[in-house]
Amino acid sequence: MNEQDLDQQRLKDDRQDELTWAVEGSRDNLDLTTLEPEALDRAMMRRCLALARQAWGQTAPNPLVGAVVLQNRKIVGEGFHPKAGMPHAEVYALKDAGERAKGASIYVSLEPCNHYGRTPPCSQGLVDAQVGRAIVGMVDPNPKVAGGGIKRLENAGIPVTVGVEEAACQLLNEPFVHRIRHGRPFGVLKYAMTLDGKIGTTSGNSAWITDTPARSHVHHLRAGCDAIIVGSNTVRRDNPHLTSHSDTAHNPLRVVMSRQLDLPKTTESGDPLHLWETTLAGTTVLTQTGANPELQAWLQDQGVTVIELNAVTPEAAMGYLGESGALSVLWECGGTLAAQAIAQGAVQKILAFIAPKIVGGTTAPIPVGDLGITTMTEALTLDRMGIQQIGTDWMITGYLPSI
């Protein structure tokens, strides 16, 4: 599906509320008999996505996948991939369906795998279960699969429909797709700013720019990502927790980038720095080789992992996190580091939360520091823009051109 078709489908997605009952309802009470075939397929695929989301933030380096088995318009099996090393969604759904999978339709949000990895190929599992039809949300971009799973099903005489709710399937797994295509985690720069473009006041205060609903939304985003990066000034000034605040049990790794490592052990008033408390969520500090050995030792005593790098750059940070299996990385830093992250191609998507507030101040911090751009023609123009109101605030999303 090309970008234009995907955009069309995104528009259609906004009009699908009438299917919510079929997506969220208890499977035993669902009467699916009245739905048109196309609406039924869409509803079941969206149900797959809802199932997939149950593992939000927990599957890296694997994708989020859900599966539904439908026999005579009754859901007889459901499953999702809970985490890497565990069986895939189709395995759970087929097990749940048992003998009822024979001749049934199976919906899967991502093409069934076709290779022996930590688990045997799901495509063969579907053939062995003798399903009657397969409906696939999107082709798996992994070169080990890339259409091979669909082909195996078709070769076995099973009709396959591909691309149902594709835009939503692609969106859910955009970090996975990015990592497969580029070998790096997907970077998202998130910031909250006032309507006059400030991420703090001239004194550096930034608590809170947005209201509770927007902040809850951020907690949910954090729960879905694998790592969050901040720079040393954000640690000093904001003393952030950077946790999902119980949105789910999952907390991403918190990463601090500091070349000099002249970071405090406590706040100015002597309170503990939240990032140095590692019982709830892990913290890793990326620093220059040889920087501040005394603080390095102290941090390690607190349970913080300290990684020395020859160059503490956004590119190196993404490389390090990619090697440890991260799919998605949320940049929650200030403008200094954000500019570097953009310049080095470590950010693919922008999430700007805009509050209906004005604070003014020529020296107040801004979301993106110097990019070396001097004329408007050089401006980075985002595409696939989206806007959503969250409480009294607005969330604007868009994708950066690849740099």
Ligand X SMILES: NC(=O)c1ccc[n+]([C@@H]2O[C@H](COP(=O)([O-])OP(=O)(O)OC[C@H]3O[C@@H](n4cnc5c(N)ncnc54)[C@H](OP(=O)(O)O)[C@@H]3O)[C@@H](O)[C@H]2O)c1
Which of residues 219 and 237 has its CB atom nearest to ligand X in the complex?
Answer: 237
For residue 234, the one-letter residue type is T
Which of residues 117 and 369 has its CB atom nearest to ligand X in the complex?
Answer: 369
Distance between CA atoms of 107 and 310, rounded to whole angstroms? 48
Which of residues 133 and 220 has its CB atom nearest to ligand X in the complex?
Answer: 220
Q: CB 366 → ligand X: shortest distance, Å?
A: 9
List phi, psi (to 5°) of 222.
Answer: -60, -40
Closest CA to 126 of 44, 75, 165, 69: 69
Taking phi first (over 0 means left), then psi (-120 to 50 degrees means alpha), and beta for anything else, what does residue 203 get? alpha
List phi, psi (to 5°) of 160.
Answer: -125, 130
Distance between CA atoms of 278 and 241, rounded to whole angstroms? 10
Q: CB 275 → ligand X: shortest distance, Å?
A: 12
Which of residues 269 and 375 has its CB atom nearest to ligand X in the complex?
Answer: 269
Q: CB 310 → ligand X: shortest distance, Å?
A: 12
Q: Which residue is nearest to ligand X (CB)?
A: 334
Distance between CA atoms of 75 and 47, rounded to whole angstroms? 11
Q: CB 218 → ligand X: shortest distance, Å?
A: 9
Q: CB 116 → ligand X: shortest distance, Å?
A: 41
Q: Is the peptide bond before 331 cis (omega within 30 degrees of 0)?
A: no
Q: CB 118 → ligand X: shortest distance, Å?
A: 35
For residue 76, the one-letter residue type is V
Using only C-alpha atoms, the chain has a radius of gyration, in whole angstroms, of 23
Distance between CA atoms of 384 and 388, rounded to whole angstroms? 13
Which of residues 62 and 340 has its CB atom nearest to ligand X in the complex?
Answer: 340
C-alpha dist (Å) from residue 28 to 18, 36, 41:
19, 20, 18
Binding site for ligand X (CB under 6 A): 191-192, 199-200, 204, 206, 209, 230-234, 237-238, 257-260, 312-313, 332-337, 340, 365
Catalytic position from the list 78, 90, 111, 165: 90
Closest CA to 268 of 316, 301, 231, 235: 235
Q: State yes or no: is 268 an active-site residue.
A: no
Half-sphere exposure of 21 (CA within 13 A, CB side): 8
Which of residues 149 and 335 has its CB atom nearest to ligand X in the complex?
Answer: 335
Chain centroid to CA 309: 26
Catalytic residues: 90
